[in-house]
C-alpha cells in the first residue's frame, strides 16, 4: 500500500477524477471475475486531493482456494482486463497490479488487492478504512491506561 510496490514502473499520483475512473473500472471487472458483489474500494476522506494507489478489498470464501487459483486464473484476467504491466505480491496477502492510466502506457496506477474471508469482510472494511485507521486504533488500545 502507499504506491510503492513497483520500482521499475512509473506509478503516478492520481487526482480525484482519475482515482474514481480507475476504481470503478476495476471494481466492475473484479466483480465479474470473482463472481462476487463484495468488492469494495476502501473508504477514504472525501476531501482527499490525490491518491498514491487504489486499495480494494475482495470478499472470498476460502483463502487457500483463492491462493491456489489466483496464479492460474486471477492474474491472467487482471493482465488481460487491466492491461497490467506488473504484478507484485508481498507476505501480507496483498497483491498489487500496475494499471495504465494513459493511452501511451507511460503512467500507471498501483492497485492493491486485499482478499478477506466473507465472515470478516465488513469488519475489515471498516478496520482498514480512512488511511489505515487501524494504525490509530491499534496505538490507542495498546497504550497502558493511566491510573489503572
| Tens-place pLDDT, residues 31-78 | 877 777 788 898 877 778 899 899 998 888 877 777 666 655 666 666
Q: Which residue has the cell 480525484?
A: 16
Task: Determine the distance from the C-alpha atom of residue 67 to the mean position of all C-alpha atoms in its chain, rounded to a whole number.
Answer: 16
Q: How many other C-beta atoms lie within 10 A of the C-beta of residue 7?
A: 8
Whole-structure pTM value? 0.77
27 grid coordinates: 471494481
pLDDT, tens only, 65-120: 776 666 556 666 666 656 655 666 665 677 888 888 888 888 888 888 888 888 88
d(CA 144, CA 63): 35
- Catalogue the E-assigned strands of the chain: 14-15, 39-41, 50-51, 53-60, 86-89, 95-100, 108-117
Q: What is the mean pLDDT of the segment spanning 16-42? A: 86
Amino acid at each position: 500500500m502507499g504506491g510503492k510496490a513497483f520500482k521499475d514502473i512509473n506509478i503516478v499520483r492520481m487526482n480525484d477524477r482519475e482515482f474514481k475512473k480507475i476504481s470503478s473500472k476495476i471494481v466492475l471487472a473484479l466483480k465479474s471475475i470473482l463472481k462476487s458483489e463484495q468488492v469494495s474500494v476502501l473508504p477514504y476522506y472525501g476531501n482527499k486531493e490525490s491518491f498514491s494507489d487504489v486499495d480494494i478489498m475482495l470478499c472470498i470464501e476460502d483463502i487457500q482456494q483463492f491462493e491456489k487459483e489466483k496464479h492460474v486464473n486471477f492474474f491472467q484476467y487482471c493482465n488481460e482486463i487491466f492491461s497490467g504491466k506488473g504484478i507484485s505480491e508481498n507476505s501480507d496477502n496483498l497483491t498489487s497490479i500496475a494499471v495504465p492510466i494513459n493511452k501511451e502506457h507511460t503512467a500507471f496506477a498501483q492497485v492493491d488487492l486485499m482478499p478477506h474471508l466473507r465472515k470478516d469482510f465488513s469488519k475489515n472494511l471498516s478496520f482498514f478504512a480512512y488511511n489505515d485507521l487501524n494504525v490509530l486504533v491499534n496505538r490507542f488500545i495498546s497504550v497502558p491506561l493511566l491510573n489503572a
